[in-house]
Structure 1
Amino acid sequence: MKGYLWGIGSMLLVTLAQLLLKWGMMYTPLISFSDINLRFLTDHSSQVTAVICGLLGYGLSMLCWFLALRYLPLNQAYPLLGISYALVYVAVVSLPWFNEPATTLKTLGAALILLGVWLIHSKANKPD
């Protein structure tokens, strides 16, 4: 059970990290690294903060992932990360500031990912 909790923590953190990175980069103007200065950072502090928090979220997600792998076999832990793909999709089509359209094909893809995770973890696949 402990391994699944760490795996779910990793999945949720990586989902949040993706959303923060996407939001931060959507609203940050494209410039070269040499143009980054204190004024740029203060003018775009919320976007920079979102990107930094997204990167920290990835780091924490990796820590949770390492702990999940300590308690779970890889073939049980890895499919949990697939859920994050579906969660990110649902979030970006649901939250208005991302302004991404839902399509039948993308929704079907997310549903197939969830079906695959369910099939891997279903009782029918577990040996007696």
Structure 2
Amino acid sequence: MNLRRGLTFALGSVLLGSAAQLGMRWSMSRLPPPEHWFTVSVDVTAVAVVLTAILAYALSMLCWLAALRDVPLGRAYALLSISYALVYLIAAALPVFNEGFSLSKSLGVALVILGVITIHSRPAHAPELRSAP
């Protein structure tokens, strides 16, 4: 087991998943409802970003599968919550998403990050294998 490699893949999954979420949000705010996609003109750039976001999701899943080879599930899963914080912070910081900061959301993000730090504050130990009696 290579914990560093696993954490790298887990963080890659978080970054790709977060980028995919932001890409989907940006695109879908520029596209008509799906029932009108074939009857009105659509923004080709927005469609390209949706397709790129889908690819980012697929790559995120591959990174996640690679991470699970080397990181205990409880620790790896905690890292996924960083994505919630990252998406919130980027969406609120960039005017293109028309989101805003709020005290309650920011406090929630701080608690999520604190939880991840708490889970990862101790070194991971491989579970002991017991022989059958």
When the two structures are superposed, what TM-score results if normalisation uses the length of structure 1? 0.88
Deviations 1:58-96 (A, max 9, x none): 110000000000111101111110001000000000011
- Per the TM alignment, residue 36 of structure 1 is displaced from its structure 2 partner at its CA by 3.0
Q: Secondary structure at the match of 2:95?
A: coil
Deviations 1:90-119 (A, max 9, x none): 000001100111100000011100000000
Which of the pair is proportionally richer in helix? Answer: 1
Moved over 4 A (4+): none
Q: Which runs of 5+ in 2 are unaligned?
A: 126-133
Q: What CA distance in whole angstroms lies between the structure 1 residues aligned with 2:103 and 2:94?
A: 18
- Per the TM alignment, residue 37 of structure 1 is displaced from its structure 2 partner at its CA by 3.5
When the two structures are superposed, what TM-score results if normalisation uses the length of structure 2? 0.85
- Per the TM alignment, residue 47 of structure 1 is displaced from its structure 2 partner at its CA by 0.7
In the comparison of the two structures, how many residue pairs are matched?
122
Q: What CA distance in whole angstroms lies between the structure 2 residues aligned with 1:38 and 1:30?
A: 11
Q: Which runs of 5+ in 1 are unaligned?
A: none
Q: What CA distance in whole angstroms lies between the structure 2 residues aligned with 1:7 and 1:26?
A: 29
Confirm whether residue 30 of structure 1 aligns to residue 29 of structure 2.
no
> Which residue matches 1:110?
109
In terms of Rg, which structure is larger? 2
